[in-house]
Amino acid sequence: MLYSSSSSSFTSSSKDSMSSSHCTSFGRLSFELPIFHSQSPFPDKNTPTTLMHHRSSDSTFQDFTLGLNFRDFSLVRQIGSGDIGRVYLCKLRGEGGGKMYAMKVVDKVVLAMKKKVQRAETERKVMRMLNHPFLPTLFAEFEASQFSCVVMEYCENGDLHSLRNNQPLKRFPITSARFYAAEVLVALEYLHMLGIIYRDLKPENVLVRSDGHIMLTDFDLSLCSDSIAAVESPDFSSELPFSSTNSNRAQTSSASTPFSCISARLFRSKKVQTLSNNRLFVAEPVSARSCSFVGTHEYVAPEVASGRSHGNAVDWWAYGIFIYEMIYGRTPFVGPSNEATLRNIIKRPLTFPSHSPINSTEAQARDLISGLLNKDPNMRFGSKRGASDVKTHPFFKGLNFALIRTVAPPGVPGMRRQKTAPFLYKKQRQPKHTASFDFF
């Protein structure tokens, strides 16, 4: 996990977990993923490539297209630690007060002893795939003795959990919550387009850059699938009133609409112009399934809490919890213990702090949350068409997602603007509620 001492996954604490061999008990998750051996996440300058990184024009990014190793960096201080490594603030040697980076250092011997090698490989595999402004840029990776190192962006403003605790009443204004929810939605859409189910969305894993925009982190609990994007023809009227009931009804009817998968070749041809205007781009790994018990107690979906198999719908449940916590300052099903929290997730109906919303925007937020927190994953808003449906909800009305990076981020108490201001990334909340876990 990145930049974290409080939200790291755990395995051996007797009060939090125990080991077993089936999916309804405690134990460690082991991904059967291929191991990559590339020493550089970037192609050589002389190697032809059809994909340009979104930061390719950045002079600091260009420095990393060269092969770098541990000796090229100067460590400043430790800024975080997690279940599978430590994170250090670092900079390139010889740059004086130059740009700062975050270096995650993993002891491969310790990792093997903890049987977490696959988790580390999963994270590195995912990070090699990423090319998006709301996700980490993997600047370099290399080996140093028994240590494996990756260099990525340093986000000086910390995470949304820490920033939320600095707000009045420990919650964001609804306009700020809407902004952060929109950027997280765009990041989730990109991950799902790659066939990646995140499985660890929570405020601690949403960092804030110096410009106020977000960056998702921590991918060692992610599930990678072979799902690909598709174009689908909606079979319901867009004029229906938007409520969680109608959202679920629309999701159910869309389940019978077959996906029409299109290749990259089609994208480059004029045939794409013949697609009717009501076609919908769907970037959702609907076929991916897992039986692993993985996530954070307050954020796990009912199907995970009850030990059933799960798929992409778990990310949309966590997204609903995320929005709820941003607006109301707590999660809706938290109990006095992890076990009580899981029982509440399975059995207790969703409630809100007050009987009536204070304005129409909060009413729309409640409607969106209600659709996302449907306990039936097949009826859950977003589970069939993903972000394509969620973006159309009235809560996001008037927001141009394509230009979200040009929207001025909200100014919130506790946000720092200095480029190298000391900041411990994540403050610890009670680990019995929020520490990530994976049971097998």
pLDDT of residue 2: 44
**184 vs 135, 210, 362, CA distance in Å?**
10, 17, 19
Would you give per-residue pLDDT tens digits along the chain (440 residues)? 444 433 333 333 333 322 233 333 222 222 222 333 333 444 343 433 345 565 555 555 555 655 788 888 999 999 888 777 889 999 998 776 678 999 999 999 988 988 888 888 999 999 999 999 999 999 999 998 899 999 999 998 889 999 999 998 999 999 999 999 999 999 999 999 999 999 999 999 999 998 999 999 989 899 998 876 666 655 543 333 455 545 444 444 443 333 333 334 333 333 334 445 566 667 788 888 898 888 899 999 999 999 999 999 999 999 999 999 999 999 999 999 999 999 999 999 999 998 888 899 999 999 999 999 999 999 999 999 999 999 999 999 999 999 999 999 987 656 664 433 333 333 334 444 456 655 43
CB 396 within 8 A of CB 132: no
398-407: Cβ within 8 A, 24+ apart:
399/178, 399/182, 401/182, 401/185, 401/186, 404/182, 404/183, 404/186, 405/133, 405/213, 407/179
Number of H helices, E strands in the chain: 13, 14
Q: What is the DSSP string of 19-35?
A: --SSTTS--------PP
Q: Is the dihedral of CA 335, 337, 338, 342 positive or negative?
A: negative
pLDDT of residue 28: 20
Residue 117 CA to residue 197 CA, distance in Å, equals: 19
Strand 280-282 to 230-232 pairing: antiparallel
pLDDT of residue 177: 96
Query: Which of these, 93, 99, 11, 118, lies nearest to 438 by C-alpha position?
Result: 11
The count of other CB atoms within 10 Å of the CB of residue 257 is 16
pLDDT of residue 283: 73
The count of other CB atoms within 10 Å of the CB of residue 226 is 8
Domain formed by 160-439, architecture: Orthogonal Bundle (1.10)
Q: Which of 83, 159, 200, 438 is catalytic?
A: 200
Residue 388: partners with Cβ closer than 8 Å, 6 or more residues away: 280, 281, 282, 283, 284
pTM as predicted: 0.75
**3 state DSSP class of 337:** coil
Residue 127 CA to residue 284 CA, distance in Å, equals: 19
The pair of structure tokens assigned to 264 is 């990259």
Query: Which of these, 88, 79, 78, lies nearest to 150 by C-alpha position?
Result: 88
Residue at token pair 């460590």: 75
The pair of structure tokens assigned to 278 is 């009501």
pLDDT of residue 323: 98
Beta-bridged to residue 436, according to DSSP, are 296
Counting Cβ atoms within 10 Å, is residue 131 exposed (0-12), middle (13-18) or buried (19+)?
middle
Q: Which amino acid is at 409?
A: P
Beta-bridged to residue 78, according to DSSP, are 88
CB 84 within 8 A of CB 111: yes
Domain ranges of the chain: 160-439
Residue at token pair 């959990």: 161
pLDDT of residue 257: 36
The count of other CB atoms within 10 Å of the CB of residue 77 is 8
Residue 107 CA to residue 137 CA, distance in Å, equals: 22
Instruction: Indicate if 200 belongs to the active site.
Output: yes
Strand intervals (E) in 195-247: 196-197, 206-208, 214-216, 223-224, 230-232
